[in-house]
Structure 1
């Protein structure tokens, strides 16, 4: 049976994992876990975090040492609203020291909020992709095709087809299908400039925030985490570019 101190360490790991999955930097994760455990009287706290692992070492007030690790698998997003809510929760934990079970329940509520209407994400995707297509030299005639492809990309993202299992496979499959459909729409007369249409769609998938976070981590001294995120972003960008290139080559030979 787990002791109360072990439950507290598990709860702090839950907070750290939720922060990391929501896009929080590793320094924030380590600082949050350290502050929570200090608030409960734990001593000699050491926290090590990378994008795939969180490890915590802490001594209880009785002198017993607790060592726990948490594997972080997939599901990374950039949700600044969740990061802010988790920051508020950590401050509340440090001030009131609630029982571990309450912390776990609060984290679950933050990680799984009430779903927003699906049409909001579709409208946002259409507006963003259409605007980028026009910005990069397209015409209003390209907007309908771009908006249609944006809806397709958003549908695949919401369904999460292969995304949790393998992000590279997801983005490769998404870019191949999107590029092929774009070629088909242009051939049918639904758009005029294929390159501008695909540029608008690519902007929905480019991991720009992930690259920014990678550079931020390296500037903060977290070289390992920064390199991991940077390499992952480069691989995702390469799979996106390769998928669109492959789809246009295939489409030229088929259509």
Structure 2
């Protein structure tokens, strides 16, 4: 049976994993775990974090050494509201020191909130993609095709087909299908400028925030994590660009 100290370390690892998957920086994850364990009287706390692993070493007040690691697997997302809620919870934990079981249940409640209405994300995708299409030189006649493709991309993203297992494959398939559908829409008269339509749609998938986070991590001295995130973002961007290019080439030969 796990001791209360081991349960506490597990709870702190759950907190760190939730922060990391919500887009929290590595330094925030390490600082949060360290502060929580110190609040419960543990000392000589060491936390090592990269995008795929969190490792914690801590010494209990009785002098026992605890070493635990948590593999981080799953899709990363930027959710600043979730990061803020987790930060508030961590401060409350440090102030009140609740039982570890309560910490885990509170984290789960933040990780799995009541889902928002689907129409909100669809409206956002349509407005964003349509605006970028016009901004980059498209006409109003291109907006209907952009809206259709934006809804398809948002549907794919909400379904998350293979996204958690392999983001590169997900974005490659998504961009190929979107590009091919765009070619069909232009051929049947829905839209005029295929390049402007696809530019508007591609802006919904470009990993701009992850690239920014990678630069931030490197500037904060977390070179390994920053490089991991930067390379992953470049590979995703390459798969998106390659998918749209492949779709247009195939469409020219088929349609």
Q: Residue 211 of structure 2 corresponds to which residue in structure 1?
A: 211
Structure 1 Cα separation of the partners of residues 231 and 21 of structure 2: 18
Q: Residue 92 of structure 1 corresponds to which residue in structure 2?
A: 92
Report whether the alignment pairs 1:179 with 2:157.
Answer: no
Structure 1 Cα separation of the partners of residues 24 and 165 of structure 2: 21
The C-alpha deviation readout for 1:136-159, integer Å capped at 9, x for no partner, is 000000000000000000000000
State the Cα distance separating 1:74 from its structure 2 match.
Answer: 1.8
The C-alpha deviation readout for 1:184-222, integer Å capped at 9, x for no partner, is 000000000000000000000000000000000000000
What TM-score, normalized to structure 1? 1.00
Structure 1 unaligned segments of length 5 or more: list them: none
Q: Residue 251 of structure 2 corresponds to which residue in structure 1?
A: 251
Structure 2 unaligned segments of length 5 or more: list them: none
The 3-state SS of whatever aligns with 1:82 is helix
Moved over 3 A (4+): none
Structure 1 Cα separation of the partners of residues 203 and 182 of structure 2: 15
Within a 5 Å distance, the mapping from 1:1-80 to structure 2 comes to 1-80=1-80
Structure 1 Cα separation of the partners of residues 219 and 206 of structure 2: 22
Structure 2 Cα separation of the partners of residues 16 and 140 of structure 1: 46
Superposition RMSD on alpha carbons, in Å?
Answer: 0.3
The C-alpha deviation readout for 1:35-77, integer Å capped at 9, x for no partner, is 0000000000000000000000000000000000000002210
The 3-state SS of whatever aligns with 1:115 is coil
Structure 1 Cα separation of the partners of residues 196 and 75 of structure 2: 30
Structure 2 Cα separation of the partners of residues 188 and 137 of structure 1: 21
How many residue pairs end up in the alignment? 255
